Structure 1
């Protein structure tokens, strides 16, 4: 079942008032919890879900005093378009003097965060680094800026590579993402590096035999897992 064929809702509870609006995408529950807002997501987070996810996070930030806690344990699929929304919301929270922290996540979310090196951006108190003065704060800020830029820059090439795989092998969106993840593990390389190789090959570059073998093995594995 594709994201467009599902009906979902964004439910926001602000000051005890609950509102439900039908939108395409996952189910996103926003509820207050003290000075913070909790955002719980169930379903798939892909390109079609970017709009509802952004709306839910904006609602949560606007209704909170200190920031937002994320519960992504119910996410069945997550790609770089959703990661882009999360990072943009994190940046917006910081600009408002708030925080956005990941409290629970599904393995699908963990893979994206680990492959892109952005997990620390959403770390809660247990994973956060204490800032020990102006010099340490500046170093932490520089690291965050680099991670933000990397995630924003790598998203287009990863999405393009996924589209190439979908067209080349007749895969669905989720299957193409799983092929990318699996092939990157076979190659022991970052996801965006593998994606760039795929795009370069599609644009007329000489395909590496090793890349062909890794993609073929990944496609075979994903198809076998889907049957």
Structure 2
């Protein structure tokens, strides 16, 4: 059995296994898939596609966070693999990745049962639509996350979690929710209904270490 090779990147922990007898290369990704991690991710996935005879399998169970820039990189890598007659399949994923891909409607593109070797024109057109949609919705989502961070003093991770959970709780697509939040903020602040939803979600989030520390004695 061949030992896996690791990609030493400051922003991301990437491990690429040697090709299996079936022609698949497994890539394990740990850490956070944000814009700073995209260059390392793109390089690793292109190399994996080049080494694979049949496809690339992704293990994202250790990926704690993924934003739209990470999603764009995954979609681009899948398109790159498809054009070369390979598959790019997510074999396991943590909640953050699953929530994002489900909210954006891109999860089926990476599921094992999807016929990824179908090169007909409709398949490629669907790929382009999904990629463009993710790219177009990213600015609004990033703005909405920034508004939540500023308004409620949240970390980037907590702001993202709040957006995703409200999207799920209200059965509203993530980009639609982001557009609404940005629009209402520009019109003079978040309405009471939105504030109540955010507050309700925040109450379910684990307390940060800072929040658990006792206040300093003022005496």
Do the structures match in fold with TM over 0.5? yes
Instruction: Show CA shifts across 1:136-156 (max 9, x none).
Output: x44444333322221221122
Alignment of 1:76 onto 2:61 = no
Alpha-carbon distance in structure 2 between the residues aligned to 1:48 and 1:69: 23
The count of corresponding residues between Structure 1 and Structure 2 is 207
Displacement after TM superposition at 1:51 (Å): 2.3
Corresponding residue of 1:29: 15
TM-score by length of 2: 0.81
Cα distance change of structure 1 residues 41 and 163 upon mapping to structure 2, 3 Å threshold: same
Consecutive unaligned residues of structure 1, counting only runs of 5 or more, are: 1-14
When structure 1 is superposed on structure 2, of 85-94 and 148-157 the one drifting more is 148-157
Cα distance change of structure 1 residues 224 and 182 upon mapping to structure 2, 3 Å threshold: farther
Runs of 4 or more above 6 Å deviation: none
Cα distance change of structure 1 residues 79 and 64 upon mapping to structure 2, 3 Å threshold: same
More strand by share: 1
Alpha-carbon distance in structure 1 between the residues aligned to 2:13 and 2:122: 37
Cα distance change of structure 1 residues 62 and 186 upon mapping to structure 2, 3 Å threshold: same
Does the Cα contact within 8 Å between 2:4 and 2:16 map onto a contact in 1? no
Cα distance change of structure 1 residues 56 and 20 upon mapping to structure 2, 3 Å threshold: closer
Alpha-carbon distance in structure 1 between the residues aligned to 2:190 and 2:5: 54
Alpha-carbon distance in structure 2 between the residues aligned to 1:185 and 1:123: 20
Alignment of 1:144 onto 2:127 = yes
Displacement after TM superposition at 1:74 (Å): 1.6
Name which of 167, 190, 198 aligns with 2:173: 190
CA RMSD of aligned residues (A): 2.7
Q: Matches of residues 4-15 of structure 1 in structure 2 within 5 Å? A: none
More helix by share: 1
SS of residue in 2 equivalent to 1:221:
coil
Instruction: Show CA shifts across 1:42-61 (max 9, x none).
Output: 22222332222222112212
Corresponding residue of 2:199: 216
Consecutive unaligned residues of structure 2, counting only runs of 5 or more, are: 213-219
SS of residue in 2 equivalent to 1:32:
coil
Instruction: Show CA shifts across 1:17-47 (max 9, x none).
Output: 94653x2222110122232321111222223
Corresponding residue of 1:40: 28
Corresponding residue of 1:55: 43
Alpha-carbon distance in structure 1 between the residues aligned to 2:54 and 2:61: 22
